[in-house]
Amino acid sequence: MNIETLAGVRVVEMSHMIMGPSCGMFLAMFGADVIKIEPPEGDRTRALTGMGTGFFPVFNRGKRSVRLDLNTDAGMQALHALLADADVFIENFRDGSLEKRGLDAATLRKRYPRLIAAPHKGFLHGPYKDRTALDEVVQMMTGLAYMTGPTGRPLRVGSSANDIMAGMFGTMGIMAALMDRDKSGEGREVRVGLFGNCLLVVAQHMVQFDLLGTEAPPMPERDFSWPVYDIFETEDGHQLFVGAVTLGHWDSLCELLGLHDLIGRDDLKSKMDQIDARSWTIPLIATALKAHKLADLEAAFLPLGIPYAPIARPAQMYDDRHVNRPGGLLESSYDGKSFRAPGLPLDIDGQPAEFDAKVPKIGEHTEEVLRAAGLDGSTIAAASGK
């Protein structure tokens, strides 16, 4: 099912890497017409290799690409022709560089009062406003990296989680601003900050300290709130996370594994008793689990409602049954190669959310978009750097 919530909304996106592009992609998934502005040589994210290979094709699906040389008068003229008819402008460049071109939010809102400017930055307004930030930088600053790795070994989360989250918050803010504009007739500036959304992620640990006066240890060393909440090894060499978070889970797990002596003991009656006994119960559970194959355990856990998860690598998701449900993966192509990537993680009325996941070539839509904006052939050629 295609979601047309934002059909008729025109978005001009001038961003790179993940933060801004993810916001544009989310808006495209909801039906917006997202025009991606690229320099004559193309978004530099296209040239990334290794772990950056997937950045451009994943987060620029569903957009139209327009090539503009903003170092020329014709390029700036073309950009303003697009902005004059746009509802939203997304960018993720340093504030100063855009102010020099008159493309900062304050200047644009004076020129286009109905425009929603959505700068995606490292920080919101405040003492750090002008600092440069990356996903890793804010993870280190806010304590997320501290909470992820063991003491003395801070670790970043294993994806560009904050960049993607910032795009989600940007999408939420833009949608709210569009609804507000329907009432007020005026645009808004919706500024998104990596640091701010990462701070929200660690808020639970901050509030623990505020309320109890104790700091949460890193997650690998955390105090357990559950009797079983661990990674184990199976007979056939797989790793498996198993959780027993209720008294029912505990009894079901022990019954399944033949650990009947752990059921109904006076010193294991309450959940707190079971947590306090983890030092000697977890080794028993680990030994019992290692006597079973992964497939047999999965088949047994499912009807019992016991939380479990095989430890998987991202590449293995292509073989996952649920990932391959109808609409779970959307097919596209990039640089002549086909690929599959998840779409919007929503079902609407029981149907998966879908959208046109095509990845644009550099400047693929320059001619059609700029002609529709009223520019002639010679101006288009000059604007695109040809």
Q: What is the pLDDT of residues 328-360, one digit of tens each?
A: 999 999 999 999 999 999 999 999 998 999 999
Residue 2 domain-assigned (yes or no): no
CATH of the domain at 241: 3.30.1540.10
With a CB cutoff of 8 Å and minimum separation 6, the contacts of 252 are 244, 304, 305, 306
Residue 1 belongs to a domain:
no
Asked if residue 151 and residue 57 are part of one domain, the reply reads yes
Does 363 lie in the same domain as 292? no
**CA–CA dist 98, 81 (Å, integer):** 17
Report yes or no: 289 and 236 within 8 Å, Cβ to Cβ.
no
Residues 273 and 372 in one domain: no
Q: d(Cα 117, Cα 115) in Å, to the nearest integer?
A: 6
Among 71, 60, 117, 39, which residue's Cα sits nearest to residue 366? 39
In this prediction, residue 94 carries a pLDDT of 85
pLDDT at 96: 84
Nearest-angstrom CA–CA distance, 182 and 361:
34
Same domain, 232 and 335: no
247 occurs within a structural domain: yes
CB atoms near residue 285 (< 10 Å): 21
> Is residue 27 domain-shared with residue 66, that is, in the same domain?
yes
On whether residue 375 sits in a domain, the answer given is yes
pLDDT of residue 323 exceeding 80, the answer is yes
Length of the chain: 386
116 and 249 assigned to the same domain: no
For residues 300 and 350, state if they share a domain: no
| Mean confidence (pLDDT) of the chain | 96
Indicate if 79 and 149 belong to the same structural domain.
yes
Q: Give the pLDDT mean for 110-120.
A: 97
Instruction: Name the amino acid, one letter, at 28.
Output: A
Out of 258, 278, 313, a domain closes at 313
154 assigned to some structural domain: yes
**Main-chain phi, psi angles of 339, to 5 degrees:** -150, 165
User: At which of 288, 313, 338 does a domain end?
Assistant: 313
Check whether 147 has a pLDDT greater than 80. yes
Q: Which domain holds residue 280?
A: 224-313
CATH number at residue 340: 3.40.50.10540
Which pLDDT band, with edges at 50, 70 and 90, does 75 fall under? Answer: very high
Overall number of domains in the chain: 2
Query: Looking at the domain assignment, is residue 161 inside a domain?
Result: yes
Residues 157 and 283 in one domain: no
234 and 94 part of one domain: no
Which residues make beta-bridge pairs with 232? Answer: 240
Q: Give the predicted TM-score (pTM) of the model.
A: 0.94
In order, the DSSP letters of 68-116 are: --TTSHHHHHHHHHHHTT-SEEEE-S-HHHHHTTT-SHHHHHHHSTT-E
pLDDT for the residue 162 = 95
Which pLDDT does position 285 carry in this prediction? 98
